[in-house]
């Protein structure tokens, strides 16, 4: 990490991460522990996809002196953003200067099956967080900065050659993206009306080690390893803009230290690829790593498309690049890292699937 970036982060002293037991949030907690001297708090409800192992493993593998130091700087609070009094207690106890807000229900298919959870978590939860921050700022004379992590899906589908930019109109087409769009609007309103210092980021599809196995890349890897059909929605030509999770974390750190309050930043790695070509890439890598009589590509099976399935996501990252950030991991490199990690961590995959009662079944088929 650049010295100036680390110095700017250390000036915050106390950083709260909501959803720090999730996939992306866990990387943030780990990175902040490793790269800063700040005290870090993780507020997470420990939902079906939550897992603290990424953080615990990182701490446990450090030399004893470092381990003691990290444990002294890290605090975990179990709680739900829907419980405002619990959230207030966390803020009163920890007194954060900076908040990274990851906590959200994030799987489109699950939002189709049960939108209630997405309204409760993504909208009501964000509202409660904003109100607690507003109250702390006004009553305790604090100046808490909020980095609200959102998704490119709030913009709908990008027609070629258009790319999503900070001023792109909102056009959410799933319960998930609609709930995230709502949370974005709340953050913007609390900035303009109440002066809550905030920045909104909209990022493309994340991937990497430790991602819950319901998402496309880990699901496809595990289906292939189990010699099961690899499902592809529709004709497989839907395009996504993929970013390696650590590149996303680095972008957020640049936003937190160099970004302008009240601004929005789109984050992408310019890795546009169709779903079918992505899965073919994964299969080819697996073919090199695992000797089968036939290619893993033979497991690909086209299935009925998802309702409201956006055709293309594409991100223009020019604004955030002006802050000094750029992605460091190519798609091929990131897939190699990710696939090899899952091959070496099948026990973790089986354990978290068992804990969540997820067996790899098709989700999001409710009409």
Q: What is the pLDDT of residues 32-55, one digit of tens each?
A: 999 999 999 999 999 999 999 999
Q: Residue 76 — φ and ψ, nearest 5°? A: -105, 130
pLDDT the model gives residue 282? 98
Mean pLDDT of 142-151: 96
Residue 216: C-alpha distances to residues 100, 141, 257 (Å): 25, 45, 32
Residue 340 lies in a domain: no
Mean pLDDT of 299-316: 96
Where in 177-335 does DSSP place strands (E)? Answer: 198-203, 205-207, 230-233, 239-244, 264-267, 272-274, 300-303
| 8-state DSSP, 25 | H
How far apart, in whole angstroms, are the C-alpha atoms of residue 303 and residue 66? 49
Residue 295 lies in a domain: no
Residue 136 lies in a domain: yes
Confidence of residue 366 (pLDDT cuts 50, 70, 90): low
Residue 301: C-alpha distances to residues 117, 194, 276, 278 (Å): 30, 51, 10, 14
pLDDT the model gives residue 317? 98
pLDDT the model gives residue 350? 96
Identify the domain containing residue 165 by its residue range. Answer: 3-206+242-270+310-329
pLDDT the model gives residue 3? 80
How far apart, in whole angstroms, are the C-alpha atoms of residue 122 and residue 153? 14
Mean of the per-residue pLDDT values of the chain = 96
Q: Taking a C-beta distance cutoff of 8 angstroms, is the pair 176, 107 a contact?
A: yes
How far apart, in whole angstroms, are the C-alpha atoms of residue 2 and residue 261? 22
103-137: pLDDT as tens digits: 999 999 999 999 999 999 999 999 999 999 999 99
User: Tokens 């709260």 — which residue?
Assistant: 16
CATH code for position 116:
3.40.50.720
75-95: pLDDT as tens digits: 999 999 999 999 999 999 999
Mean pLDDT of 342-360: 96
Helices within 259-317 (DSSP H only): 275-289
How far apart, in whole angstroms, are the C-alpha atoms of residue 10 and residue 284? 43
Residues tagged active-site: 152-153, 176
pLDDT the model gives residue 112? 94
Q: What percentage of the chain carries pLDDT values higher than 90?
A: 94
Residues contacting 286, CB < 8 A, separation 6+ = 221, 224, 225, 296, 339
Residue 200 lies in a domain: yes
Mean pLDDT of 266-284: 98
Q: How many CB atoms lie within 10 A of CB 237?
A: 12
Q: Are strands 145-151 and 98-101 parallel, antiparallel or unpaired?
A: parallel
User: How many domains does the chain fold into?
Assistant: 1
How far apart, in whole angstroms, are the C-alpha atoms of residue 249 and residue 29? 10
pTM: 0.97
Burial class (CB in 10 A: 0-12, 13-18, 19+), 163: buried
How far apart, in whole angstroms, are the C-alpha atoms of residue 80 and residue 339? 32
How far apart, in whole angstroms, are the C-alpha atoms of residue 19 and residue 104? 7
Mean pLDDT of 146-173: 97
Confidence of residue 4 (pLDDT cuts 50, 70, 90): confident
Mean pLDDT of 184-202: 98
Residue 186 lies in a domain: yes
Q: How many CB atoms lie within 10 A of CB 67?
A: 14
pLDDT the model gives residue 2? 84
Residue 281 lies in a domain: no
Answer whether residue 99 shows pLDDT above 70: yes
Q: Are strands 264-267 and 198-203 parallel, antiparallel or unpaired?
A: parallel
Residue 176 lies in a domain: yes
Confidence of residue 364 (pLDDT cuts 50, 70, 90): confident
Confidence of residue 1 (pLDDT cuts 50, 70, 90): confident
How far apart, in whole angstroms, are the C-alpha atoms of residue 296 and residue 223? 10
Residue 289 lies in a domain: no
pLDDT the model gives residue 195? 96
Answer whether residue 367 shows pLDDT above 60: no
Residues contacting 53, CB < 8 A, separation 6+ = 210, 348
């Amino acid at each position: 990490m650049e010295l100036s970036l680390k110095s700017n982060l250390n000036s915050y002293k106390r950083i709260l991460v909501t959803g720090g037991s999730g996939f992306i949030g866990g990387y943030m907690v780990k990175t902040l522990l490793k790269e800063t001297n700040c005290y870090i708090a993780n507020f997470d409800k420990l939902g079906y996809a939550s897992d603290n192992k990424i953080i615990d493993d990182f701490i446990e593998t450090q030399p004893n002196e470092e381990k003691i130091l990290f444990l002294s700087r890290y605090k975990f609070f179990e709680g739900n953003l829907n419980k405002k009094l619990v959230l207030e207690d966390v803020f009163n106890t920890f007194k954060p200067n900076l908040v990274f807000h990851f906590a959200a229900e994030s799987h489109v298919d699950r939002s189709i099956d049960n939108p209630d959870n997405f309204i409760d978590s993504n909208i009501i939860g964000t509202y409660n967080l904003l109100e607690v921050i507003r109250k702390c700022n006004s009553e305790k004379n604090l100046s808490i900065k909020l980095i609200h992590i959102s998704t490119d899906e709030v913009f709908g589908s990008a027609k070629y050659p258009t790319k999503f930019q900070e001023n792109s109109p909102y056009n959410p087409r799933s319960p998930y993206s609609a709930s995230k769009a709502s949370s974005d609007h709340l953050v913007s309103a609390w900035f303009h009306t109440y002066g809550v210092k905030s920045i909104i980021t909209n990022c493309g599809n994340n991937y990497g080690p430790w991602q819950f196995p319901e998402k496309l890349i880990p699901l496809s890897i595990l289906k292939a390893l189990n010699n099961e059909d690899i499902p592809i929605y529709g004709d497989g030509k839907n395009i996504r803009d993929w970013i390696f999770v650590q590149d996303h974390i680095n972008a957020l750190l640049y936003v937190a230290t160099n970004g302008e309050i009240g601004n929005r930043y789109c984050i992408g790695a310019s890795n546009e690829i169709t779903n079918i070509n992505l899965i073919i890439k994964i299969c080819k890598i697996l073919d090199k790593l695992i000797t089968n009589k036939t290619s893993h590509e033979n497991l690909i099976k086209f299935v009925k498309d998802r309702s409201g399935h956006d055709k293309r996501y594409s991100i223009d990252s020019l604004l955030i690049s002006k802050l000094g950030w750029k992605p460091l991991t190519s798609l091929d490199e990131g897939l190699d890292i990710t696939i090899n990690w899952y091959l070496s961590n099948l026990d973790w995959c089986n354990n978290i699937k068992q804990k969540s009662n997820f067996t790899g079944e098709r989700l999001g088929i409710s009409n």
